[in-house]
């Protein structure tokens, strides 16, 4: 018996070796093979540049309205460049997961938009340095970034450019998408009161819900709901704590503007008071009890039913639901936005300047078959022609030039503002903002804005309800309600949420732990009895300490200071 076992075992081992060596060999062969074929395709491509190819693009942001190049703009780009993009989005998980699995399998699509995972890909050697390619084939790209080109540099030690940030260069904000939202009908019923502090906000909701405990179709109205069940807890619950207490959003950290010392922002006493207010809202029954349990689709369904009076969210997050309200003609239940703060000593710092944030962008991977072609493609999108195309669409179809000015025809504009999801899908406008581009408020050589977001255009996009409400507050856009852009000094480090942790480092692990703690403790504190709030919040801070938040703060402070040094060169 024993002998047999030994036999079997040695046989197994022998087999294993056979396999391992076999695998090793084939791997090597595979490697050299792809190398040579790559060279071959490159050579042939130079002859016939517009040969149609299909490329894979992995995007970290799910775009439900992605048109698969079948939209009007998509087809135009396809014809012009010969490139067909197949986009891939995270399925049933986060974008971090998608890219981590990519790294684990060491197989990449041609283009990636890795959001916060760029560092991971760079560490894995997955992204190629775009600098030489841009120098040679990307004049438009270079032109767009202009004086901020040095901000594309990866780090102090590595001057490679791995991603092209997709944020608009020279962006002026004409519209505010965040703040605290209230339905137009709530404002109307209250006679358009001043909405500056959380007390004003609370009073308006309270007054309305007392008179209208049920909607017209008999469902109970909900005071306010937060999108706190998934990752948007950051958007809907914790980031507003910055804004309401007079700080800009710097990810999970509060950065002292003078010393550049960073601390985890929950450690600020002001923010404790903000969460105490949310706790109070829950106590008096105005906060949706399911705020921290609901999934994103449940939240959207609730908002789209028109019975949620107030939100604290960003328009891109609740936009789908609001579009559904508009499509149903329920404009009274759509939302107006206000810069609400904890009390009148604070000012909303949402628009404190950052300079150009060289943040999330698009990169070319080492598996891309023809990087040169790709950079030319991106360069086309960054050209004047390309930028007008992706922002405005096709002349004669989506816009007309009247007296040298680009004008969007009324029927197109109506569809764009009232049924944006279909609009995006059929026209493709907004789906191809992949490459370097100018931001809102920058004009092209013809004297028109590159983007469709400029004051006049924003106003034409407003619904009658929006206009009515804004008129009552003597404003033309919601942005007018916020402090002006130059009210605060520019942040020298851009925005701290763009600073990536070194993957797998101790700080990264601590950060992940603090996030897990926060996601549990913040909801717990808000849903607790008011008497228990301080106890839980203290426990929260202690948990953070135990997880090593001091080390994390020190590390982050160093990262901020390094960024300041890198960018002020």
Partner 1 sequence: MKPLTDGNQQTGLANKKNRFWSRAFQQRYLYMMSLPFVLWIFIFSYVPVWGWLTAFQNYKPKDSIFNQKWVGLDNFIELFQDERFYIVLRNTLAMSTMGLVVSFTIPVIFALLLNEMRGQFFKRSVQTISYLPHFVSWVVVAGLVSKMLSTDGGAVNQLLIYLNIIDSPIQFMAKGEWFWSIVTLSDLWKEMGWNSIIFLAAMSGIDPELYEASTVDGAGRFRKMWHITLPGIRTTFMVLFILSIGHLVSIGFEKQFLLGNPLVSDYSEVLDLYALKYGIQMSRYSYGTAIGIFNSVVSILLVFIANGIYKRVTKESII
Site string for partner 1, 299-338 (x = CB under 8 A): ---x------------------------------------
Q: Is 155 near partner 1 (CB under 8 A)?
A: no
- Residue 247 CB, shortest distance to partner 1, in Å, is 23
Residue 535 CA to residue 297 CA, distance in Å, equals 33
Number of residues that bind partner 1 (CB under 8 A): 44
Site string for partner 1, 132-151 (x = CB under 8 A): --------------------
Is the sign of the CA dihedral 487, 489, 494, 496 positive or negative?
A: negative
- Residue 7 CB, shortest distance to partner 1, in Å, is 7
- Residue 430 CB, shortest distance to partner 1, in Å, is 29
Q: Is 558 near partner 1 (CB under 8 A)?
A: no
Stated as kind and residue range, the H or E segment containing 183 is strand 180-183
Q: How many CB atoms lie within 10 A of CB 449?
A: 24
The nearer residue to partner 1, 15 or 401, going by C-beta atoms, is 15
Stated as kind and residue range, the H or E segment containing 422 is helix 420-427
**Nearest Cα to Cα of residue 389 among 81, 25, 40, 152:** 81
- Residue 539 CB, shortest distance to partner 1, in Å, is 13
The nearer residue to partner 1, 42 or 503, going by C-beta atoms, is 503
Residues with Cβ within 8 Å of residue 470, at least 6 apart in sequence: 336, 462, 476, 477, 478, 480
Where do runs of H (alpha helix) occur along 341-395?
371-382, 384-392
**Nearest Cα to Cα of residue 361 among 69, 118, 68:** 118
List the one residue from 61, 68, 79, 97 that touches partner 1 (CB under 8 A): 97
Q: Considering only 100-108, 253-261, 338-346, 428-436, which stretch makes contact with partner 1 by CB under 8 A?
A: 100-108
Q: Is 125 near partner 1 (CB under 8 A)?
A: yes
CA–chain centroid gap for 39, Å, is 37
Residue 151 CA to residue 136 CA, distance in Å, equals 19
Residue 168 CA to residue 451 CA, distance in Å, equals 9
The nearer residue to partner 1, 96 or 554, going by C-beta atoms, is 96
Q: Considering only 70-78, 201-209, 225-233, 490-498, which stretch makes contact with partner 1 by CB under 8 A?
A: 225-233
Q: How many CB atoms lie within 10 A of CB 61?
A: 11
Residue 20 CA to residue 22 CA, distance in Å, equals 5
Site for partner 1 in 17-56 (CB under 8 A): 19-20, 23
Structure tokens at 433: 């903002």
**Nearest Cα to Cα of residue 544 among 236, 266, 271:** 266
Site for partner 1 in 494-553 (CB under 8 A): 503-504, 508-509, 512-513, 516, 519-520, 523-524, 527
Under the rule (CB under 8 A), what is the footprint of partner 1?
Answer: 3-4, 7, 12, 15-16, 19-20, 23, 92, 94, 96-97, 100-101, 103-104, 106, 120, 123-125, 228-229, 233, 289-290, 292-293, 295, 298, 302, 503-504, 508-509, 512-513, 516, 519-520, 523-524, 527
């Amino acid at each position: 018996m024993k002998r047999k076992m030994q036999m079997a075992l040695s046989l197994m081992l022998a087999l294993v070796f056979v396999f391992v060596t076999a695998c090793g060999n084939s791997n090597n062969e595979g490697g050299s093979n792809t190398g040579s074929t790559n060279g071959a395709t490159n050579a042939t491509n130079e002859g016939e540049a517009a040969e149609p190819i299909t490329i894979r693009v992995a995007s970290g942001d799910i775009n439900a309205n992605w048109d698969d190049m079948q939209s009007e703009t998509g087809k135009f780009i396809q014809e012009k460049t010969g490139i067909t993009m197949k986009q891939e989005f995270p399925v049933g998980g986060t974008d971090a997961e998608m890219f981590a699995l990519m790294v684990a399998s060491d197989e990449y699509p041609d283009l990636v938009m890795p959001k916060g995972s760029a560092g991971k890909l760079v560490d894995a050697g997955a992204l190629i340095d775009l600098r030489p390619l841009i120098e040679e084939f990307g004049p438009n790209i270079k032109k767009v970034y202009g004086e901020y080109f040095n901000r594309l540099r990866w780090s102090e030690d590595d001057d490679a450019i791995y991603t092209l940030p997709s944020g608009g260069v020279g962006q002026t904000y004409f519209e505010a998408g965040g703040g605290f939202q209230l339905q137009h009908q709530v404002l109307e019923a209250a006679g358009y009161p001043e909405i500056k502090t959380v007390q004003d906000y609370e009073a308006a909701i309270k007054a309305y819900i007392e008179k209208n405990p049920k909607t017209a179709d008999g469902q109970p109205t909900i005071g306010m709901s937060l999108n706190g069940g998934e990752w948007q807890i950051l958007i809907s619950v914790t980031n507003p704590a910055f804004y309401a207490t007079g700080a800009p959003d710097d990810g999970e950290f509060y950065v002292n503007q003078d010393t550049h010392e960073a601390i985890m922002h929950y450690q600020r006493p002001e923010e404790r008071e903000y969460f105490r207010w949310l706790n109070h809202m829950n106590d008096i029954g105005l906060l949706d009890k399911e705020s921290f349990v609901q999934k994103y689709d449940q939240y959207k369904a609730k908002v789209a039913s028109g019975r949620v009076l107030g939100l604290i969210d960003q328009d891109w997050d609740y936009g789908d639901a609001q579009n559904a309200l508009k499509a149903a003609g329920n404009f009274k239940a759509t939302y107006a936005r206000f810069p609400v703060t904890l009390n009148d000593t604070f000012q909303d710092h949402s628009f404190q300047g950052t300079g150009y944030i060289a943040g999330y962008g698009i990169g070319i991977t080492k598996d891309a078959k023809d990087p040169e072609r790709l950079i030319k493609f991106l360069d086309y999108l960054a050209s004047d022609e390309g930028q007008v195309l992706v922002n405005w669409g096709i002349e004669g179809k989506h816009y007309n030039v009247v007296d040298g000015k680009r004008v969007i025809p009324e029927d197109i504009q109506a569809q764009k503002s009232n049924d944006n999801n279909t609009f995006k899908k059929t026209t493709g406008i907004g789906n191809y903002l992949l490459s370097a581009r100018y931001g809102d408020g920058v004009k092209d050589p013809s004297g028109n804005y590159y983007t469709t977001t400029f004051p006049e255009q924003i106003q034409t996009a407003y619904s009658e309800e929006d206009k009515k409400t804004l008129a009552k507050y003597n404003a033309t856009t919601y942005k007018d309600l916020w402090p002006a852009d130059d009210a605060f000094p520019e942040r020298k480090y851009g925005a701290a949420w763009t600073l990536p942790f070194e993957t797998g480092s101790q700080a990264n692990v601590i950060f992940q732990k603090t996030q897990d703690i926060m996601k549990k403790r913040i909801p717990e504190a808000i849903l607790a009895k008011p008497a228990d709030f301080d106890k839980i919040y203290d426990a929260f801070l202690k948990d953070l300490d135990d997880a090593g938040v001091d080390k994390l703060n020190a590390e982050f402070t160093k990262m901020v200071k390094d960024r300041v040094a890198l960018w002020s060169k």
